[in-house]
Amino acid sequence: MTEAEKEEKTDRAGWWIALAGTVGAIVGTVITGAVDYFDHKGDIDTKMIELSIDILRAQPTPETVPLREWAINTIEKRGDFKFSPEQEAVLRKQQLPHAVALASQIGQAISGLKAPP
């Protein structure tokens, strides 16, 4: 094997090591971001549901109808359950009672914690 062939193999090996390091750094960043997202997704869902409950807690007015619709849809999506048509009608027209206790219980349920009795 000539000196030029040895140098070419060394150059090629260095290129593969650099490529592997770059790919490893990119994959590590993507995995870390994904783990962080899924780790905090429950926190985001909890906060969105608490915000929605606060909206439904306010006295309904004609101006707040679209916001109340958004709050109902958000609770259904983030809480992964569906209100009956009767429940939705009541939520659109009436102020939600005991919202603080309800928000706490829903937030704890989503976070995987046990709700207080």
Condensed to tens digits (0 to 9), the pLDDT of residues 53-63 reads 889 888 888 89
For 85, the token pair is 């048509």
Where is pLDDT greater, at 112 or 68? Answer: 68
- What pLDDT, on the 0 to 100 scale, is given for residue 95? 83
Q: What is the mean pLDDT of the chain?
A: 80
76 exposed, middle or buried (CB, 10 Å; 0-12, 13-18, 19+)? Answer: middle
- What pLDDT, on the 0 to 100 scale, is given for residue 13? 77
- In Å, how far are 3, 14, 28, 73 from 21, measured between CA atoms? 27, 11, 10, 45
- What pLDDT, on the 0 to 100 scale, is given for residue 115? 43
Provide the domain limits for residue 20: 3-110
Mean pLDDT over 13-29 rounds to 89
Q: Give the count of domains, the chain.
A: 1
Q: Is residue 117 part of a domain?
A: no
Q: Is residue 35 part of a domain?
A: yes
pLDDT band of 110, cuts 50, 70, 90: low
103-104-105-109 Cα dihedral, nearest 10 degrees: 100
